[in-house]
Structure 1
Amino acid sequence: MRRFAVVGVALSIGVCGLTEVGTAANPRIAAVQIGLRAHGFDPGPVDGLSGPLTRSALASFQRAKRLPDDGRLDRKTRRALGQRGRPLLGQRELAVGAVGWDVAVLEFRLRRRGLPRSAVDGRFTRSTATALRRYQRRQRLAPDGIAGPLTYRALAARSAARAHVVRAGESFFSIAARYHVSPWQLARRNGIPLTNVIVPDQRLVLPAGARLSAPVVTGPPASRDAVRAAIDRWALVYGVDPRLARALAWMESGFQQDVVSSVGAVGVMQLLPETWEFVDTVVLGVRTPRNYVGNVRAGVRYLRWQLDQFGGNVRLALAGWYQGARAVREIGLYDDTKLFVRVVLSLYGTV
């Protein structure tokens, strides 16, 4: 591949340093996750989020390479990743056959152009080239399937973040419902605790995936009363306090069935597809329908599973829901996990 300097283009996705837990997927974190996988360490799903599994895997990798195991990415750590840690996106032309950090970053950004998740692996294949051509056509560039200076300039161009100006009587939950996003993600995107009061004329930046029109969902639209009834029903079946299940569901989605997060969590209970599949296959032994009833059933059963993992301790079960049971046991609760738990408990008995 031909190397070159991209004059006048500062790609933010090429900045070194693994950030803390973010509110939106970050391509450079995805590149770290792909690099760790290539070296035999499990960072969890390649989702671009610096969660506990990613930080733990990075720290383990650093220990194996006799580097400070602080779970942060620096030049020495990137160097230790070898071919998977270099070069930064924009430093060379990319085409079929290329392997590296820059390819991983590019592929992660091409997911919205039809690149399958399984193909996001840091190797520039024909699938990568096909997705890149789609992106180039959309940007009115020559669709040659090769990433060069013009493609990098298009990638570096930033559009203004979508925002909402608060009106009288609005809350995080009503705004989240309007844009079909999670109230929790809306609050985190703005660095404001969900328990805080927002005021008219306050400007809120909307998280990824915000939209005014509802997406196509499986099954007929469900009212909040119907969602609440489904939660209460399955809570009774699985021996879960319905007030706890409702508080969790309200925190996650505001009882919306059509919310899809930036990392692919779906429905009322905001279940990742792999979590939903785990509940169906391992916990329930049956496939639940992919509608709001099935989502609620799987979510409440997963909450029951978390409660069982921690001997009925509600605080730890909620932490396990948010952070993962294994991570809670091995690492403890992160600050954002503690905040999540605190807000859910504050909603207990109010929804």
Structure 2
Amino acid sequence: MEKLSLKYFLAFFLFSVFVSILVLYKLFPIRYYDIVVRKTQGIDPLLVMALMKVESGFCEDAVSPAGAVGLMQLMPSTFSWLKERFKLEGDIHRVEDNITFGLLYLSYLLNLYNGDLEKALAAYYVGPSRVGELEREAAAYVKKVMNYYRVYKILYFWLRWGG
């Protein structure tokens, strides 16, 4: 009788682990991954997945109370500035353009802060000129993105095998 109970316990335990992993994959999807891989500016695509999850929850037509738009939650003024600075065309509401310009902006911020990812993420959230004055809000945001990034790296470790 004891062996039967142990078998049921192990079966239940394995089933629970399997369901938990499936739930994590559902909570941390890799939507738009193919676009991100094509458009990346040397930035880990899984970091971009974490950023999109935090910024918009992968909602293409998300608009924040402050007016940030799309998957990458770009402010229209930032989008216009990027268009002018890099001599590019695009539509902030078009998924591929929103991702492209979001990656361009993050790459710009990484260069601005000499590769310091946390400073670049803080600037992505509050703007480069406001990082110091909104340090607490930026720190909470950076922590959330970095925690999600860790989850993405664990869940999708196998994506790195091909490259």
TM-score between the two structures when normalised by the length of structure 1: 0.34
- 1:127-146 equivalent positions in 2, closer than 5 A: none
In the alignment, which residue of structure 2 is the partner of 1:227? 32
Q: Look up the equivalent residue of 1:285 and give its one-letter code.
A: K
1:248 aligns with 2:44: no
Secondary structure at 2:151's aligned position in 1?
coil
Secondary structure at 2:59's aligned position in 1?
coil
Query: CA–CA distance in 2 between the matches of 1:258 and 1:322?
Result: 18
Highest CA radius of gyration, 1 or 2? 1
Q: Look up the equivalent residue of 1:253 and give its one-letter code.
A: S
TM superposition shift of 1:350? 2.9
Any unmatched runs of 5+ in structure 2?
A: 1-22, 153-163
Query: CA–CA distance in 2 between the matches of 1:305 and 1:258?
Result: 24
Query: CA–CA distance in 1 between the matches of 2:53 and 2:89?
Result: 24
Secondary structure at 1:348's aligned position in 2?
helix
Query: CA–CA distance in 2 between the matches of 1:225 and 1:316?
Result: 24
In the alignment, which residue of structure 2 is the partner of 1:273? 76
CA gap of 1:225–1:337, structure 2 versus 1, over 3 A, is closer
The ranges of structure 1 where at least 4 consecutive aligned residues each deviate by more than 4 angstroms after the TM superposition are none
CA gap of 1:243–1:311, structure 2 versus 1, over 3 A, is same
Secondary structure at 1:350's aligned position in 2?
helix
Judging by fraction of residues, say which structure has more helix: 2
- 76, 94, 98: which one aligns with 1:295: 98
In the alignment, which residue of structure 2 is the partner of 1:99? none
Q: Look up the equivalent residue of 1:230 and give its one-letter code.
A: I
- Residue by residue over 1:110-147, the C-alpha shift from the partner in whole angstroms, topping out at 9 and shown as x without a partner, is xxxxxxxxxxxxxxxxxxxxxxxxxxxxxxxxxxxxxx
Query: CA–CA distance in 2 between the matches of 1:264 and 1:324?
Result: 14
CA gap of 1:281–1:262, structure 2 versus 1, over 3 A, is same
CA gap of 1:278–1:317, structure 2 versus 1, over 3 A, is same
1:305 aligns with 2:108: yes
What's the C-alpha RMSD, in Å, of the aligned pairs?
2.3
TM-score between the two structures when normalised by the length of structure 2: 0.70
1:285 aligns with 2:87: yes
TM superposition shift of 1:233? 1.9
TM superposition shift of 1:339? 0.3
TM superposition shift of 1:319? 0.7
- 1:1-351 equivalent positions in 2, closer than 5 A: 227-235=32-40, 238-282=41-85, 284-289=86-91, 290-328=93-131, 331=132, 333-351=134-152
Secondary structure at 1:340's aligned position in 2?
helix
Query: CA–CA distance in 2 between the matches of 1:333 and 1:243?
Result: 26
Any unmatched runs of 5+ in structure 1?
A: 1-169, 175-223
Q: Look up the equivalent residue of 1:262 and give its one-letter code.
A: P
TM superposition shift of 1:333? 5.0
Percent identity at matched positions?
A: 31
Query: CA–CA distance in 2 between the matches of 1:271 and 1:256?
Result: 13
TM superposition shift of 1:332? 5.4
Asked whether the 8 Å contact 1:280–1:288 carries over to 2, the reply is yes
TM superposition shift of 1:225? 5.3
In the alignment, which residue of structure 2 is the partner of 1:217? none
Asked whether the 8 Å contact 1:267–1:292 carries over to 2, the reply is yes
In the alignment, which residue of structure 2 is the partner of 1:207? none
